[in-house]
């Protein structure tokens, strides 16, 4: 059977169902979802196969919507707007610190779901009583985050396109400020934040490529000994697959990763002092300072602990 993409909302996520032939994008159908019988619209399809998905495991579309089903869905949409206005009035009267985002009415009107945001936990028991008394149905108040609010409402991002979360994202990947730093972006909150005020979801799209590139690159700011002398790595460019290094003559040279590896780079060895320990073994400069008694007691204790840990690791 052909496969169709259906928009189940809110938060308007695309789910895939198998259905009969003859359906096209824009047609309305009925499916059996978590909330029971659900009226949805076909967003894409038909397609013969979906990568990584077994057609036999996909749920089936029950039937195409009839004119009566479409009229009932229109009545539910009007009821949801009335419930939205009534709930906002109740929130204002009870002075609750919450923001109503959307209202979902089940197709059979057995349940109303109110999506809201709030800075903290809200005691909305009295609000639920008001809603149940008005609509004589089960009522659920579901608190969501600012990202899900943007996903439900929709907005235009900095790129001029509709937000990714509204168009196709189903799950929010974790985004950190480290991603912006590794991508050499200006850490301006207005540039790297989305409509929701959180870091842009698109920062995570290319992060795998940056991670792969940085694993092949030397550490920025480190000095290396090469066949052409000492060099310090100052910049890395993933798009050019290159490095910028500072030579001994203070020349800024750009090298590809292949050219860099041909220089046989290596970290300079630790400098050793001429002093030796009691066994006649040469000691690093830090141990020599400790042995000479010029190192503070606290620092000397730290070095002794490090030596003991290293010894236990070697014996293990």
Contact at 8 Å (CB) between 91 and 54?
no
Q: Which residues of the chain have pLDDT under 50?
A: 271-283, 285-295
Cβ–Cβ < 8 Å for 154, 164: no
Query: What does the pLDDT read at residue 285?
Result: 44
Dihedral angle of Cα 14, 16, 22, 23, to the nearest 10 degrees: -20
Q: Residue 76 is inside which H or E element, if any?
A: helix 67-94
Distance of alpha carbon 263 from alpha carbon 229, whole angstroms: 9
Task: Please tell me the predicted confidence (pLDDT) of residue 276.
Answer: 45
| Alpha-carbon radius of gyration of the chain | 31
Alpha-carbon gap, residue 197 to 60, rounded angstroms: 38
Return the pLDDT at 270: 53
pLDDT digits (tens, 9 = 90+) for 101-128: 999 999 888 899 999 999 888 888 899 9
The residue to which tokens 């309305």 are assigned: 28
Distance CA 47, CA 23 (A): 11
Q: Given this model, what pLDDT does residue 272 score?
A: 41
How far apart are the C-alpha atoms of 221 and 231, rounded to whole Å? 10
Residue 252, token pair as written in the block: 């800024």
DSSP reduced 3-state for 100: strand
For residue 300, how many other CB atoms are within 10 A of its CB?
Answer: 17
**3-state DSSP percent of the chain in helix, strand and coil, to 5:** 35, 30, 35
List, for residues 36-52, the tens digit of each pLDDT value. 888 888 888 788 777 77
Measured between alpha carbons, how far is 98 from 266 in angstroms, rounded to an integer? 59
DSSP structure string for 9-71: TTTTEEEEEE--TT--TT-EEEEEETTEEEEEEEEEEEES--TT--GGGS-BEEEEPPHHHHH
Predicted pLDDT at 101? 92
| Residue 310: partners with Cβ closer than 8 Å, 6 or more residues away | none
Domain extents in the chain = 3-65, 72-144, 150-204, 219-262, 275-315
The confidence score (pLDDT) of residue 298 equals 61
Domain 72-144 is found in CATH 3.30.300.20 = yes
């Amino acid at each position: 059977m052909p496969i169709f993409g259906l928009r189940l909302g809110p938060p308007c996520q695309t789910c895939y169902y198998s259905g009969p032939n003859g359906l096209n994008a824009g047609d309305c159908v009925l499916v059996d979802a978590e909330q029971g019988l659900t009226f949805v619209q076909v967003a894409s399809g038909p397609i013969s196969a979906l990568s990584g998905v077994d057609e036999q495991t996909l749920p089936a579309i029950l039937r195409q919507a009839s004119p009566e089903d479409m009229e009932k869905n229109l009545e539910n949409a009007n009821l949801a707007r009335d419930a939205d206005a009534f709930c906002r009035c109740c929130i204002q009267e009870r002075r609750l610190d919450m923001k109503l985002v959307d209202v979902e009415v089940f197709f059979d009107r057995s349940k109303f779901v109110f999506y809201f945001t709030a800075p903290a936990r809200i005691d909305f028991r009295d609000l639920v009583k008001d809603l149940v008394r008005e609509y004589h149905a089960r009522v659920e108040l579901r608190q969501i985050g600012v990202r899900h609010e943007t996903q439900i409402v929709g907005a235009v991002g900095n790129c001029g396109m509709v937000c990714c979360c509204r168009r196709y994202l189903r799950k929010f990947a974790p985004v950190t400020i480290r991603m912006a730093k590794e991508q050499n972006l200006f850490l301006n909150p207005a540039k790297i934040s989305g409509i929701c005020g959180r870091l842009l979801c698109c920062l995570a799209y290319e992060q795998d490529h940056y991670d792969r590139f940085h694993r092949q690159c030397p550490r920025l700011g480190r000095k290396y000994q090469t066949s052409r002398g000492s060099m310090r790595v100052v910049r890395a460019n993933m798009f050019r697959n290159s490095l910028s290094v500072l030579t001994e003559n203070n020349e800024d040279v750009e090298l590809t990763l292949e050219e860099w590896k041909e220089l046989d780079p290596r970290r300079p060895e630790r400098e050793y002092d001429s002093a030796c320990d009691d066994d006649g073994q040469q000691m690093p400069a830090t141990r020599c300072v400790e042995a000479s008694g010029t190192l503070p007691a606290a620092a000397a204790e730290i070095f002794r602990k490090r030596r003991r840990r290293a010894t236990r690791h070697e014996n293990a």
